[in-house]
Amino acid sequence: MRYHNITKDDMLNGDGLRVVLWVAGCNHCCRDCQNPITWDPNGGLAFTEAEEAEIFTELDKDYVSGITFSGGDPLHPSNISAVTAFAKKIRERYPNKTIWLYTGSTWEEIQNEAVVQYLDVCVDGEFQVDKADTSLRWKGSSNQRVINVPATLREGKIVLHCAN
């Protein structure tokens, strides 16, 4: 897996104060994407044990609510296995921290992927500039959904994280 940035003390990509891992690689290539530099799966830097340790240092802080995987797309073929393994490791080490994931894919397309069992929230769907709305919480366009993953898995139908 490759990444572009690790953001600390982020309050825009999920609830609470978070650490965000911006991965490289996206096949959605949404028009007017905020991060087109992250589309190339060969861009950025190699994600190594040093970056993992850096994220763990952030997650060790009591005031950090959790991690958000974004990009790029964490579910891009070049990322999904590493993101799944890392999410599992985070869930085991920090059971009380939340894990958010942004993907251009829809829930219906990813619901059977192994990674979903480790997620608390999934923001799904491609950014659509014609549905862009800066008043929306945690998403850029009205077609996207902020999904409460554990409730959705329990209920067998999509349960939104909050009014969004």
* Tens of pLDDT, residues 113-124: 999 999 999 999
**Segment 132-157 mean pLDDT:** 95
What is the set of domains in the chain, with CATH numbers? 2-155 (3.20.20.70)
pTM of the model: 0.95
Flag whether pLDDT at 105 surpasses 70. Answer: yes
**Segment 96-100 mean pLDDT:** 98
Predicted confidence (pLDDT) per residue in 54-97, tens digit: 999 999 999 999 999 999 999 999 999 999 999 999 999 999 99
Report strand pairing: 64-71 vs 17-23. Answer: parallel
* Mean pLDDT taken over the chain: 95
Element containing residue 85 per DSSP (H, E): helix 80-93
CB 87 within 8 A of CB 119: yes
pLDDT value of residue 163: 53
Flag whether pLDDT at 158 surpasses 80. Answer: yes
Contacts of 139 (CB under 8 A, 6+ apart): 123, 145, 146, 164
